[in-house]
């Protein structure tokens, strides 16, 4: 049985909690197949990032070209890009894919720092995303990322309106706010919706990667944006509820179980 494929640009996390491993597991659990391209090698555990080493854009280009020449790509998911050269290369790949499929879904998870605030790029992380933001179908920032992308604007709706000037859909994730519940807000140019989820105890490594890649997998299979966001949140919440421990610190979402 042929599976739809999602092209993924993201970093390698040797702890296995975030980055490409999170993407591969989530995409597989939602019934699609991940095509992973490593943008950055990192030195990290399940809590802290100690070093980042961007992969050369020429290597990304060769990998993407080999995949594009043979495999039908139904969606793209972007995490850490690593360098401005990589960001430009990814933009060129998306432009080439869109020449074949104008409505190709592109999910941009604008990871600016680790959950502990550690840098994930040697360059300005916000500036790195500049060529990619106008190409995204959906941008999925958390609250601090939304503030950074919008130049310090703190009002949620104003952040959404600013981001919607570039991408047709925005999902602002509310886990960084206080309270017993987490509120995630989807905005599009014609609709909006919010979801409320119970806040689970503990901290999690790779929750943002899990959600963004799950959305990409569902969009690749033809679900609407609203349907994909809702089902991906259900999947992510279950993965966090079943999270497991590999060491002290952040828990690892359990993404292995096939989603219902």
Would you state the pLDDT for residue 169?
A: 97
| 5-241: CATH number | 3.40.1190.20
Residues in the chain: 260
Q: CA 165 → CA 37, 150, 158, distances in Å? A: 28, 11, 11
Question: What CA–CA distance (Å, rounded) separates 215 from 95?
Answer: 21
And the tokens for 108? Answer: 């941009």
Tally Cβ neighbours within 10 Å of residue 124. Answer: 12
Asked if residues 217 and 26 have their Cβ atoms less than 8 Å apart, the reply is: yes
Beta-strand relationship, 73-78 and 181-188: unpaired
Q: What is the pLDDT along the chain (260 residues), one digit of tens a residue?
A: 889 999 999 999 999 999 999 999 999 999 999 999 999 999 999 988 899 999 999 999 999 999 999 999 999 999 999 999 999 999 999 999 999 999 999 999 998 865 655 566 667 888 899 999 999 999 999 999 999 999 877 788 899 999 999 999 999 998 888 889 999 999 999 999 999 999 998 888 889 999 999 999 999 999 999 999 999 999 999 999 999 999 999 899 999 865 54
Domain ranges, ordered by start, for the chain:
5-241
**Phi and psi of 203, rounded to 5°?**
-120, 155
Would you state the pLDDT for residue 116?
A: 58
Question: What CA–CA distance (Å, rounded) separates 243 from 201?
Answer: 11
Would you state the pLDDT for residue 202?
A: 86
Asked if residues 120 and 53 have their Cβ atoms less than 8 Å apart, the reply is: no
Tally Cβ neighbours within 10 Å of residue 56. Answer: 13
Asked if residues 184 and 195 have their Cβ atoms less than 8 Å apart, the reply is: yes
């Amino acid at each position: 049985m042929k599976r739809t494929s999602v092209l993924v640009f993201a970093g390698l996390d040797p702890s296995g909690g975030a980055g490409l491993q999170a993407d591969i597991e989530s995409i597989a659990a939602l019934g699609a197949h991940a095509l992973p391209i490593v943008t950055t090698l990192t030195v990290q555990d399940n809590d802290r990032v100690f070093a980042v080493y961007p992969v050369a854009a020429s290597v990304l280009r060769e990998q993407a070209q080999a995949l594009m020449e043979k495999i039908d790509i139904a969606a793209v998911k972007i995490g850490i890009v690593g360098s401005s050269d990589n960001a430009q290369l990814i933009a060129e790949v998306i432009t080439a894919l869109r020449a074949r499929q104008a409505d190709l879904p592109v999910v941009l998870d604008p990871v600016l720092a680790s959950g502990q605030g550690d840098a994930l790029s040697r360059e300005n992380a916000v500036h790195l995303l500049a060529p990619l933001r106008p190409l995204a179908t959906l941008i999925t920032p958390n609250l601090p990322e939304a503030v950074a992308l919008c130049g310090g604007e703190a009002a949620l709706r104003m952040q959404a309106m600013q981001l919607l000037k570039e991408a047709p859909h925005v999902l602002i994730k509310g886990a960084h706010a206080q309270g017993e519940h987490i509120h995630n807000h989807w905005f599009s140019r014609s609709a909006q919706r919010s979801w409320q989820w119970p806040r689970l105890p503990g901290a999690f490594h790779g929750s943002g990667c899990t959600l963004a890649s799950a959305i990409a997998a569902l969009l690749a299979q033809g679900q609407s944006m609203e349907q994909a966001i809702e089902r991906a949140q259900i999947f992510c919440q279950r993965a966090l509820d079943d999270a497991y421990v590999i060491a002290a610190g952040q828990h690892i979402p359990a993404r292995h179980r096939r989603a219902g």
